[in-house]
Structure 1
Amino acid sequence: MTTTPLAYPRQELQLTGEDSRLRNWAKNSRLGPPGSVVAPATEAELCDFLSTSHGPVRMIGSRMSPGRMIEVANGSGTLLDLSKLSGLISSTDDTVTFAGSTSLAAVYAFLLARGQMLPASPGVIAEQTLAGALCTGTHGQGLEQSTIAGAALSIRMVLADGTVAEFDREHPHFPAIQLSLGSLGVITAVTLRARESVIYTCLKNAVDADNLEADLETWNRENSLVKVWWFPQENQVQVWTANEATDDEIQRYRAGGGELLAHTNTNKAMNDTVESTLRQLRDDTKGVADDGKPLRTVTRFRDFTDVTGDVYQVFCRGIATPQINVEIGIPLARAGEVISTIKQWHAETRPRMHYPVILRCTGPSDGWLSPSHDQDTCYFGFVVYYAADGSLSEEGADFLRAVEKTLAEQGGRPHWGKYFDESLYHWPALYPQWEAFRRVREALDPQHRFANTFTAALLD
């Protein structure tokens, strides 16, 4: 197997000043040369820059993606810092329009302040920009919804020649714009659907994984929102099932000032399992970096309780820490078969794992390049953490390569904003609208100004 050199890069920890600014969030990739960052203050300035300049351009966003997604072509070109183009633009009773560089956290906070939410479940963290979340296919969990891009009603972009274009759901290009890999233009505004906020009660249980192949789909068909963490070594699963709270639960939640309500049924059933995972994590990372955040992401599975809160309080509670995160979407109808394959592979290889396998299912997406395009999808997520010196354990890297190869052979589609070895995938076979997307790209950016080495290899 040929492994892409960019797949699992080492962290560079001793960074200061501009050198730090030119690195992605995980500090494992350089995005451009010194002096390459341009930060327009308005959309008009952005239009003027694009219409009067030349050369490749990429958007920094919040720098959460692997460097290959963000970096400029061949180490030269312009990195656009659009952080000044953020915030609320307008709103109606059931829509909100935000500038593309607004953080998801700011979008959620505005909606919650007026008793609303997006019709899409959030991911675990909210530091991403809205535009970045759309461009990479950020998603949550639950078969009644899909990616965050599914909540978009219209998207405004500045094209490579500096002109402005609006795309709504009636526009034939919209399914390409929804997940564009940053290769079609600069997203400056997104109008989103909003709905009344729902208060959920999330029940947390520890069960064995003997019937996970069938249980996973059953849980997702019978509940509004579901998230599963699978510890193969101990044959154990922690499953969260969330549904609309009862009147009594909502009353207690309101009485607590709208803070996440933890119930009193503390469950210690997974404490031994958590300790086993922590031992492997400590051994492989030889003392983790980032103030022990990786350890905290695992210890949260101990002493767990049911909770009541809004969708962001329940699910958007991740601890942001640099890591190598591989996530592959599999058609839900085949998820059970893939789970059986992983069970067999795990029994034979006994890999060292820093974190449980994350299982999140979504409904189909309209976006042509979404891993959940046109099908219910189960996302299989795998995490390996960096050591304190910025290195990645050989055992951890071997585990990720092996498990990704296994899922790729099952027709998996990788999450664009995470890490993967592109040599494992035949993109036109995975995405029926691949050529349609390429035609839209030729129409909107015929000079491929928004391309870099990674997207050029994919699309040219």
Structure 2
Amino acid sequence: MIATQTLFPRRQPHPDQSDPAILNWAKNATLAAENALQTPENEAQLQEMIAAAAGKIRFIGNRMSPGRMLALSGQKDRLVDLSRLRGVLDVGNDSVTFGAGTPLHEMFETLTAMNRMLAASPGVIDAQTLAGAISTGTHGQGMQQSSLADEALRIRLVDATGKVHEIDRQHRWFGAAQLGLGTLGAISAVTLRTRPFTLFTCFKSASNADTLAEDLNDWNAQWAFSKAWWFPDENKVHAWNAREATAEEQARWHDNHGDLVEMEATDAQMNGTVDKTLAQMRDDTRIVDDNGKPFRTVTRFKDFTDVIGDIYQIFCRGIATPQINIEIGIPMARVPAVMARIKAWHTRSHPHMHYPIILRCTGPSQAWLSPAWQEPTCFFGFVVYYAADGSLSEEGLEFLRAAERLLAEEGGKPHWGKYFDPTLYDWPALYPQWSAFQDVRRQFDPQGKFLNPFITELLA
């Protein structure tokens, strides 16, 4: 078993300024020495840097992945920052090509200004870069879509020799390139298919969780987008279900100058549950400011109301705050059995829960290493926030360990861009294309230039 400090590292809320090391976004891992960072201005410079590299290379954008995915230690190793390869590169009738370092919020704003959107629902955080989101399997919610990578029409990739490859949906290796963990090369540009800009109305509800498995299936069958938060301690569930807005609802949004419209009626059903959750979070984090970021992620469930807006205004509502986030994909066919097991475990053990279980379901993905490869999948998310001093609640972490073990035993697959214990999974058994992916990786990088110690062990 991997050591706890490796799985759930303590963060440095106030890094030593005399140590110029590069940290990840959460400040819980050192990625490399300061002089290991290279930032190409364009694709040509990126090609030159990769071709000339004498050591290992990992690619970074906003550094939001766990540190072990990015960390390097050799004197000749290099972190390549792709953040300057950004913006719109080309516009088609139903597609837009972006530089791979474009932050998601910038991409969403650009598409909205063009009166377009993606068919894929966004994840909750929009600070990621496009390349990072593609490479780790970022997804939203809704059975009529899957991951962001599944909206890609073409991926431009620089291999270990500095050669550029244009990989489109007809290419036999496209499924590998869609979610490559940064091991095939540097993504320099992505062409995404777009659809006309659409407004949605999101209906929020609170209900008893006794029939959650059936409700979850019904919501995802009936609504364009659906997301739920399960509070096992209170046996409650809070759901957001969205459909396309009516003409009258669209008019209200336009009259509100394009800002999110909150309906007049509010619902206080979740207030007591939220107050208990907030008290637990305060005990765990020892953060005294009630307006602190971790608390704002759950206080939005109080006095909730239906809303009208675009897909990004409604669902891209996450508050970026350092946390340990585990997310496990379970095939939809197995969700009822898994929920029954979680309920039985909760009744028997009364685990210490720091935050509700997040439920987001998607349609099948074509990416070979997607947890939703070729089958509808429900992602179960578990969160523990860092305390003010950078520590983590040990009871909260024990809950995370137990929850991951349970879902891994049920055939779950972890989200690659979040935290997970790799010793719990048999990758070739979970991913039928695992061997094929390894073969493609060796074609692009026969010497393992794009591997670090963790990725090497993972793929082995």
Residue aligning to 1:86: 86
Cα deviations by residue, 1:398-438 (Å, 9 ceiling, x for unpaired): 01000000000000000000000010000000001000000
Count of equivalent residues: 460
For structure 2, which runs of at least 5 residues remain unmatched after alignment?
none
Bigger shift: residues 244-253 or 145-154: 244-253
TM-score with structure 2 setting the length: 0.97
Cα contact 1:18–1:34 (8 A) shared by 2 = no
Distance 1:306 1:105 in 2: 23
Cα contact 1:289–1:386 (8 A) shared by 2 = no
Q: Does 1:146 align with 2:146?
A: yes
Using the TM superposition, give the Cα deviation of residue 49 of structure 1 relative to its aligned residue in structure 2, in angstroms: 1.6
Cα deviations by residue, 1:344-387 (Å, 9 ceiling, x for unpaired): 11111212222110000000000000011010000000000110
Decide whether aligned partners of structure 1 residues 395 and 436 sit closer, same or farther in structure 2, where only a CA change above 3 A counts.
same
SS at 2:34's partner residue?
A: coil
Q: Does 1:330 align with 2:333?
A: no
Cα contact 1:59–1:70 (8 A) shared by 2 = yes
Distance 2:141 2:60 in 1: 26
Residue aligning to 2:31: 31
Cα contact 2:20–2:33 (8 A) shared by 1 = no
Residue aligning to 2:48: 48
SS at 1:229's partner residue?
A: strand
Cα deviations by residue, 1:164-214 (Å, 9 ceiling, x for unpaired): 111000111110000000000000000000101111100000000011121
Residue aligning to 1:314: 314
Bigger shift: residues 18-27 or 138-147: 18-27
Distance 2:36 2:387 in 1: 30
Residue aligning to 1:170: 170
Decide whether aligned partners of structure 1 residues 290 and 75 sit closer, same or farther in structure 2, where only a CA change above 3 A counts.
farther
Residue aligning to 1:362: 362
SS at 2:292's partner residue?
A: helix
Cα contact 1:231–1:237 (8 A) shared by 2 = yes
Residue aligning to 2:391: 391
Residue aligning to 1:121: 121
Q: Does 1:252 align with 2:228?
A: no
After superposition, residues 57-206 of structure 1 pair within 5 angstroms as 57-72=57-72, 77-206=77-206
Using the TM superposition, give the Cα deviation of residue 115 of structure 1 relative to its aligned residue in structure 2, in angstroms: 1.2
SS at 2:248's partner residue?
A: helix
Decide whether aligned partners of structure 1 residues 454 and 2 sit closer, same or farther in structure 2, where only a CA change above 3 A counts.
closer
Bigger shift: residues 132-141 or 18-27: 18-27
Cα contact 2:152–2:190 (8 A) shared by 1 = yes
Using the TM superposition, give the Cα deviation of residue 52 of structure 1 relative to its aligned residue in structure 2, in angstroms: 2.1
Distance 2:291 2:185 in 1: 38
SS at 1:166's partner residue?
A: strand
Distance 2:166 2:193 in 1: 17
Q: Does 1:420 align with 2:420?
A: yes
What is the percentage of aligned positions where both structures have the same residue? 54
Residue aligning to 1:220: 220
Using the TM superposition, give the Cα deviation of residue 285 of structure 1 relative to its aligned residue in structure 2, in angstroms: 1.3
Distance 2:18 2:197 in 1: 41
Using the TM superposition, give the Cα deviation of residue 75 of structure 1 relative to its aligned residue in structure 2, in angstroms: 7.7
Decide whether aligned partners of structure 1 residues 291 and 247 sit closer, same or farther in structure 2, where only a CA change above 3 A counts.
closer
After superposition, residues 2-21 of structure 1 pair within 5 angstroms as 3=3, 5-15=5-15, 19=19
Cα contact 2:55–2:74 (8 A) shared by 1 = no
Cα contact 1:326–1:418 (8 A) shared by 2 = yes
Letter paired with 2:22: L
Letter paired with 1:337: A
Decide whether aligned partners of structure 1 residues 97 and 377 sit closer, same or farther in structure 2, where only a CA change above 3 A counts.
same
Letter paired with 1:116: R
Distance 2:263 2:291 in 1: 29
Using the TM superposition, give the Cα deviation of residue 34 of structure 1 relative to its aligned residue in structure 2, in angstroms: 3.3
Distance 1:21 1:131 in 2: 23
Cα contact 2:21–2:32 (8 A) shared by 1 = no
Using the TM superposition, give the Cα deviation of residue 51 of structure 1 relative to its aligned residue in structure 2, in angstroms: 1.6
Using the TM superposition, give the Cα deviation of residue 2 of structure 1 relative to its aligned residue in structure 2, in angstroms: 5.3
Decide whether aligned partners of structure 1 residues 120 and 395 sit closer, same or farther in structure 2, where only a CA change above 3 A counts.
same
Decide whether aligned partners of structure 1 residues 97 and 16 sit closer, same or farther in structure 2, where only a CA change above 3 A counts.
farther
Decide whether aligned partners of structure 1 residues 275 and 74 sit closer, same or farther in structure 2, where only a CA change above 3 A counts.
farther
Letter paired with 2:153: L
Cα contact 2:160–2:444 (8 A) shared by 1 = yes
Decide whether aligned partners of structure 1 residues 293 and 75 sit closer, same or farther in structure 2, where only a CA change above 3 A counts.
farther
Distance 2:146 2:453 in 1: 29
Distance 1:364 1:290 in 2: 40
Cα contact 2:11–2:26 (8 A) shared by 1 = yes
TM-score with structure 1 setting the length: 0.97
For structure 1, which runs of at least 5 residues remain unmatched after alignment?
none
Letter paired with 1:208: N
Residue aligning to 2:408: 408
Letter paired with 1:84: R
Residue aligning to 1:238: 238
Decide whether aligned partners of structure 1 residues 434 and 21 sit closer, same or farther in structure 2, where only a CA change above 3 A counts.
same
Distance 2:76 2:264 in 1: 57
Residue aligning to 2:295: 295
Using the TM superposition, give the Cα deviation of residue 93 of structure 1 relative to its aligned residue in structure 2, in angstroms: 2.4
Residue aligning to 1:429: 429
SS at 2:133's partner residue?
A: helix
Letter paired with 2:373: H
Distance 1:18 1:370 in 2: 40
Decide whether aligned partners of structure 1 residues 269 and 20 sit closer, same or farther in structure 2, where only a CA change above 3 A counts.
farther
Distance 2:49 2:72 in 1: 16
Distance 1:131 1:170 in 2: 20
Residue aligning to 1:445: 445
Distance 1:444 1:4 in 2: 34
Decide whether aligned partners of structure 1 residues 451 and 333 sit closer, same or farther in structure 2, where only a CA change above 3 A counts.
same
SS at 1:31's partner residue?
A: strand
